[in-house]
Amino acid sequence: MEAEIIAVGTELLLGDILNTNAQFLARQLADLGITVLHQHVVGDNAARLEELVRTAKARSDLLVFSGGLGPTADDLTKETVARCYHDTLHFDQEEMDKITSFFAKSGRTTPDNNEKQAMVPTRGKKLPNRNGTAPGVWFEDEGRYAVLLPGPSHELIPLWNEQVLPLLQPLCSGVLHSLTLKVTGPGESHLEETVGHLFRSANPTAAIYAKTCECHIRITAKAATPAEAAAMCRAKAQEFYDILGDCIYGEDDATLESAAVAALQKHHLTLATAESCTGGLVSRRITDVPGASEVFGFGFVTYANEAKEKLLGVPGEVLAAHGAVSPQTAAWMAQGARRASGADISLALTGLAGPGGGTPDKPVGLVYLAAAYQDTIYIRKLGLGGRSREVVRLRSSQNALDLARRLALGLPLPDDTQTVPAARLAEEMR
């Protein structure tokens, strides 16, 4: 079965709203083994919508719409699609009663224009919506299908799961299962060189998706049953694990911060942060993870040199001799954060995020990352030039979280990591 996704709404065309529904629907259709040929965004214009629907219907088995089911005059999806699928609409008193009750629960009267939402197909099906006033709609015409869903995601997603899936599943032959591996460290080109041969299989398929600070490898298998497809994905994933090893930090919905927190929890370790150029980004990412309070208690944002001295104990002579952006300062920050917090591991970041402030010796994008753990200080120099301020900060936080994960799990550290005995910090880093 082949499908097209059509999002309706002028606000989408203008960029006022992000089209997250299309992403959700594309993944859901893929999981059913339905191939998505095209995605469209069309404004609230009946003529342009009808032209698109007729073209798409002629080449695809299924059209899935989001939006355009509201009560206002520019909500024209239902009427337009009904015409293209040779159906008519009629007033449904049961739906009108639900709409009236929906408004009454919040102490409001029902506007007259909401009667429009109570119009349902004559030959097709209405799809009850328990989270809003607009029911979904199912049209069928000579083996061609159309599903109309409301625009708000909190209505669309449950309506899809409860009403649409049971209608589509009998129409599908075979199922798709997908698994996403999250990779940090090697970039897209390096991955292509290292595991490129694993992307050449037809079933399961595998593809790289480059993100701002990491890469995702999406594996998809088609089989007769969900269990068979899942087993095929797992076997393919193992091939990637055999080569990439601990560069894969998690799967599917995992984030690097959740992986770092899980690693700390597993080994009953605590973490503190001392941040300059990242301004608290690392601690924010950590505390975005539910349960982070078990491992994280202290986050120092020491943007000014005075703060580095007062809160972390960085010697003034170190700052004077080497500057805030230096391996010496990063090491002292990490040691100071660990002493002040009592944490097992501390992370420190200091650098030049830009866009200004760089010099030939210390260009924009130069960041020093340090960690204090047990009796050792670990230091890395990150060259992140040629990127925006936001990306420099984000990549710095990514490297910091990965360092915490690796230290907590006892994994190998990057080859460029320098070590200094904590007991000899004053001697070696002044």
Q: pLDDT tens, position by position, for the chain (430 residues)?
A: 899 999 999 999 998 888 999 999 998 998 888 889 999 999 989 999 999 999 999 999 999 999 988 887 767 889 999 999 999 999 999 989 988 888 888 788 888 778 888 999 999 999 999 998 889 999 999 999 999 999 999 999 999 999 999 999 889 877 888 999 999 999 999 999 999 999 999 899 999 999 989 999 999 998 988 899 999 999 999 999 999 999 999 999 999 999 999 999 999 999 999 999 999 999 999 999 999 999 999 999 999 999 999 999 999 999 999 999 999 999 999 999 999 999 999 999 999 999 999 999 999 999 999 999 999 999 999 999 999 999 999 999 999 999 999 999 999 999 999 999 998 887 766 5
CB neighbour list of residue 421: distance below 8 Å, 6 or more residues apart: 375, 376, 377, 428
Nearest to 330 by CA among 241, 405, 260, 403: 403
Note the pLDDT of residue 428: 67
d(CA 390, CA 355): 10
The alpha carbon torsion through 391, 397, 400, 406 (nearest 10 deg) reads -90
Angle among Cα 24, 181, 249 to the nearest 5 degrees reads: 125
| Residue 229, strand partner residues | none
Note the pLDDT of residue 68: 87
Sheet-wide strand order for 144-149? 35-42, 2-8, 62-66, 144-149, 136-141, 125-127
d(CA 147, CA 167): 10
DSSP codes joined into one string, 136-173: EEEEEETTEEEEEE-SSHHHHHHHIIIIIHHHHGGG-S
* pLDDT tens figures, 113-128: 788 889 999 999 999 9
Question: Is the bond leading into 360 cis (omega within 30 degrees of zero)?
Answer: no
CB neighbour list of residue 100: distance below 8 Å, 6 or more residues apart: 110
| Residue 250, strand partner residues | 182
Note the pLDDT of residue 111: 84
Sign of the dihedral defined by the CA atoms of residues 190, 191, 195, 200, in that order: negative
**From residue 413, how far is each of 169, 211, 250, 351, 380 by CA, in Å?**
47, 22, 18, 21, 10
Note the pLDDT of residue 75: 72
Q: How do strand 136-141 and strand 125-127 relate by DSSP bridges?
A: antiparallel
* pLDDT tens figures, 266-275: 999 999 999 9
d(CA 330, CA 371): 8
